[in-house]
């Protein structure tokens, strides 16, 4: 790593911090116009699939210049659209080379790569004084998330995790309802994601990873693996398939939990659980995620808030129970309720049911707002509900405005980190099949030495150790 360049950048960043930019309208430009010099220069790691969607969303704000593109599979079909959108952006296949050769050319970076690969890119970026937008969940292991939180605090950079609903209606509604005492005394929440996943239909009797295949000519497989131990290339490891494997992804929980549990976690001050219990693990195996999972997360009393349990359900055949009066707005209307009147739909859209001592709320995923159920209770409370402010910026504009010192991010690592660590603990319960008892203050597993070691994860591959010291 280029140490001289790193020190130069840090000194430069300190010098720039005191500079005030002249607004474009003062120079006679039309309102809404942002001069290129007023925009955030952005480098992007991971430019296909979800990474490409992030880049396009950030670019659509009009607040950034996309100046560099980096992808280990640069030139593969899924990368071409973004490459054509930004023909003048510098192209790289290894993020380390990008930093060494073009580190002075950008102020912020996107990390839209597989879960296991978030950590090295993010740690290097923060150590170089770069602001970071990283997809959810923050990282694959508990310890990596911990180091990322410490890195953000140490290097004083802007961070944002990509749970974009955290800048939409549910965020502002949940906060307003908590502040007004509408949401209070919550004792349990059901979080559910029962759509088909990539590994559904795979053979759970798997005894080894899939066989080695020919590496595509466009792919730098060695760099794709980053700090993970060596795996032979197989097409079921790339292009989103990495979500299926414990070695690379975080399953349905890591993929959707941040879109469903995020506001409850933040505004109910949940922090870390003291117990995670795998209630159901259908077709459990050592390689990829179960076909269906039910997890219980238990959180202690927090101040005046009572102890609370979150029950997570995923799997096509693992639909959670729903309360009387739930309604049909979130259900498949073609599925009638059984004769006993209890709604057990064949399909339930991703979302949550929040149970407090007085009220029950239902909500969807991402930015979907909550409603009080049943409808009679909602009508009773309608006049008591507070006004909910509109979002001043979407998640992508929020990040870029924070980079410019105009806003604070809504999902910085200090908020997104503990949420991501909840998912890390949940995945460990899925992987091992064991109940986890957790010391929230010491951040250690107290009932299983092996799982406690798994908080840190496997040692990094040779040559990648330094990223754990940045």
Residue-wise pLDDT tens digits, 145-195: 999 999 999 999 999 999 999 999 999 999 999 999 999 999 999 999 999
Q: How far is the C-alpha of 113 from the C-alpha of 77, rounded, in Å?
A: 16
Q: Residues, the chain, total?
A: 470
Q: How far is the C-alpha of 364 from the C-alpha of 396, rounded, in Å?
A: 21
Neighbours of 349 (CB within 10 A): 16
Q: How far is the C-alpha of 330 from the C-alpha of 362, rounded, in Å?
A: 9
Confidence at 136, pLDDT banded by 50, 70, 90: very high
> Average per-residue pLDDT in the chain?
91
The helix (run of H) or strand (run of E) holding residue 42 is strand 40-45
% of residues, the chain, pLDDT over 70: 89
Is the CB of residue 353 less than 8 Å from the CB of residue 190?
yes
Q: How far is the C-alpha of 108 from the C-alpha of 131, rounded, in Å?
A: 4
Q: Between these two residues, 11 and 171, which has the higher pLDDT value? A: 171
The structural domains of the chain, ordered by start, are 3-166+396-413 (3.40.50.720), 168-390+421-454 (3.30.360)
Q: Which pLDDT tens digit goes with each residue over 71-104? A: 999 999 999 999 999 999 999 999 999 999 999 9
Place of tokens 């107290």: 446
pLDDT of amino acid 35:
74
Confidence at 29, pLDDT banded by 50, 70, 90: very low
Confidence at 450, pLDDT banded by 50, 70, 90: very high
Range 132-145 burial, b when 16+ CB lie within 10 A, else e: bbbbbbbbbbbbbb
Q: Between these two residues, 464 and 33, which has the higher pLDDT value? A: 464
% of residues, the chain, pLDDT over 90: 86
Q: How far is the C-alpha of 11 from the C-alpha of 199, rounded, in Å?
A: 48
Q: How far is the C-alpha of 454 from the C-alpha of 441, rounded, in Å?
A: 18
pLDDT of amino acid 349:
87
- Residue 366: closest CA among 202, 149, 164, 82: 164
pLDDT of amino acid 341:
44
Q: Which pLDDT tens digit goes with each residue over 292-345? A: 999 999 999 999 999 999 999 999 999 999 998 988 645 444 544 444 444 444
3-state secondary structure of 108: strand
């Amino acid at each position: 790593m280029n140490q001289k360049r790193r020190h130069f950048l840090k000194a430069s960043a300190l010098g720039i911090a005191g500079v005030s930019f002249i607004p474009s309208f003062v120079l006679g430009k039309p309102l809404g116009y942002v001069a290129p010099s007023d925009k955030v220069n952005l480098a992007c790691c991971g430019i296909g699939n979800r990474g490409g969607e992030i880049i396009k969303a950030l670019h659509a704000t009009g607040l950034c210049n996309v100046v560099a593109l980096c992808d280990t599979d640069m030139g593969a079909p899924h990368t071409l659209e973004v490459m054509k959108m930004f023909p003048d952006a510098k192209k790289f296949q290894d993020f380390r080379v990008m930093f060494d050769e073009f580190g002075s050319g950008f102020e912020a970076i996107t990390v839209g790569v597989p879960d296991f690969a978030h950590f090295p890119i993010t740690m290097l970026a923060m150590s170089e004084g770069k602001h970071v937008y990283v997809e959810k969940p923050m990282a694959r292991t508990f310890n990596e998330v911990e180091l990322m939180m410490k890195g953000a605090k140490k290097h004083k950079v802007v961070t944002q995790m990509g749970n974009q609903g955290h800048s939409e209606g549910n965020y502002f509604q949940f906060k307003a309802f908590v502040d007004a005492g509408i949401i209070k005394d919550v004792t349990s929440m059901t979080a559910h994601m029962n759509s088909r996943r990539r590994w559904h239909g795979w053979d759970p009797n798997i005894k080894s990873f899939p066989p080695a295949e020919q590496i595509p000519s466009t792919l730098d497989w060695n760099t794709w693996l980053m700090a993970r131990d060596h795996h032979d290339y197989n097409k079921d490891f790339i292009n989103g398939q990495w979500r299926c494997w414990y070695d690379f992804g975080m399953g349905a929980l890591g993929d959707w939990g941040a879109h469903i549990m995020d506001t409850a976690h933040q505004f109910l001050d949940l922090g870390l659980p003291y117990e995670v219990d795998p209630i159901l693990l259908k077709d459990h195996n050592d390689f990829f995620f179960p076909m269906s999972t039910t997890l219980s997360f238990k959180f202690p009393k927090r101040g005046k808030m009572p102890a609370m349990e979150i029950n997570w359900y995923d799997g096509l055949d693992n639909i959670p129970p729903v309360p009387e009066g739930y309604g049909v707005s979130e259900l498949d209307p073609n599925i009638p309720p059984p004769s006993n009147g209890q709604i057990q739909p064949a399909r339930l859209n991703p979302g949550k049911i929040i149970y407090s001592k007085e009220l029950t709320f239902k909500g969807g995923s991402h930015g979907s707002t909550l409603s009080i159920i049943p409808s009679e209770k909602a009508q009773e409370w309608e006049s008591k509900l507070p006004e909910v402010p509109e979002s001043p910026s979407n998640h992508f504009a929020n990040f870029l405005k924070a980079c410019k010192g105009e806003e604070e991010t809504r999902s910085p690592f200090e908020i997104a980190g503990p949420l991501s660590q909840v998912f890390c603990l949940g995945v460990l319960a899925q992987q091992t099949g064991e109940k986890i008892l957790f010391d929230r203050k010491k951040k250690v597993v107290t009932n299983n030495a092996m799982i406690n070691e798994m908080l840190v994860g496997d040692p990094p591959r040779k040559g990648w150790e330094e990223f754990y010291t940045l």
